[in-house]
């Protein structure tokens, strides 16, 4: 739902004036979610779960894995990259 007046600026872009197609691309590139219930796929390990969204953007596996590993390292989980969600405490 778009506002009836005013503007919303994110990263210098007025998202209110974007077309639906451009807004979808913007969301895909810049917006992320942290779910309270995590919604991790139980059959994938931590690295695979973190890199999964990049798959939908057509990013190569090599780059996906590097980025995902960097993100896991940023939150102190690099050493758990090969663990499935059930193997990590929460």
| Shared-domain flag, residues 57 and 90 | yes
Q: What is the pLDDT of residue 35?
A: 64
Indicate whether 50 and 81 sit together in one domain. yes
Question: Are 81 and 48 part of one and the same domain?
Answer: yes
Domain match, 17 and 44 both: no
Give 25-70 pLDDT, tens digit per residue: 899 888 877 666 678 899 999 999 999 989 988 899 999 999 999 9
Enter the pTM of the model.
0.63
Cβ(86)–Cβ(42) under 8 Å? yes
Same domain membership, residue 21 and residue 45: no
CB 50, CB 68: distance < 8 Å: yes
- Which residue in 46, 45, 64 sits closest to 55, CA to CA? 64
Residues 57 and 76 in one domain: yes
Count of the separate structural domains present in the chain: 2
Distances (CA, A) of 38 to 27, 49, 58: 19, 10, 23
| 62 and 79 housed in the same domain | yes
Q: Which two tokens stand for residue 65?
A: 């894995």
Residue 90 has what pLDDT? 62
CB atoms near residue 50 (< 10 Å)? 22
Full domain range(s) for residue 22:
1-32
Looking at the structure, do residues 80 and 51 belong to the same domain, yes or no? yes
In this structure, are 56 and 25 located in the same domain?
no
**In whole angstroms, what is the distance from residue 73 CA to residue 67 CA?**
10
């Amino acid at each position: 739902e778009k506002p009836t007046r005013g503007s919303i600026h994110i990263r210098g872009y007025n998202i209110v004036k974007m077309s639906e197609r451009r807004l979808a691309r913007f969301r895909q590139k810049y917006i992320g979610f942290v779910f309270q219930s995590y919604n991790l796929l139980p059959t994938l390990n931590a690295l695979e779960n973190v890199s999964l969204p990049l798959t939908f953007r057509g990013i190569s596996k090599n780059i996906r894995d590097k980025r995902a590993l960097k993100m896991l390292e940023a939150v102190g989980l690099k050493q758990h990259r090969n663990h499935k969600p059930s193997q990590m405490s929460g």
